[in-house]
Amino acid sequence: MGPAAHEGRPPLGIPTLVDGGSFAYRTVRAAGAEDHYELGAVGHGPHGRHLAQRLVTEIRTWDREYRGDRARIEVHPAGTPDRQLPADRRIERRHTRITTSSRPCGTRLEPANR
């Protein structure tokens, strides 16, 4: 989708929690003023309500503690040594090592030691 496809609504990408036969996903709706949205969650299945509550807790934590942060995502070859990767969250894949970092706006993300 091009930028025009998102005009008047937030971009897509829907966080979802899954547990067995239950799942919950983030919802978005307009909240009055232009470009203001309200986030929530909807759950389905036997544990859907519990999963939706967990997701709302995560949304509130993000709002309170991380809203102004900037994310940085890096992808490195699978053989990259730990000492060359940022110390933040890592996702190990067969061919790559993915790192995600988050810093408050206005702070500089330092490159990994090379």
**H or E element, residue 77:** strand 69-77
Residues sharing a CB contact under 8 Å with residue 82, sequence separation 6 or more, in sequence order: none
| Cα-based angle 83, 75, 111 (whole degrees, multiple of 5) | 50
**Strands, DSSP E only, in 33-88?**
37-44, 69-77
DSSP assignment letter at 111: P
Average pLDDT along the chain, 114 residues, taken 10 residues at a time: 50 84 93 87 97 95 85 92 88 94 62 47
Give the per-residue pLDDT at 10: 54
Nearest to 27 by CA among 52, 54, 45, 48: 52
Give the per-residue pLDDT at 1: 40
- By DSSP bridging, strand 69-77 and strand 96-104 are antiparallel
CA gap 28, 91 in Å, rounded: 27
Q: Which amino acid is at 84?
A: Q
Give the per-residue pLDDT at 33: 82
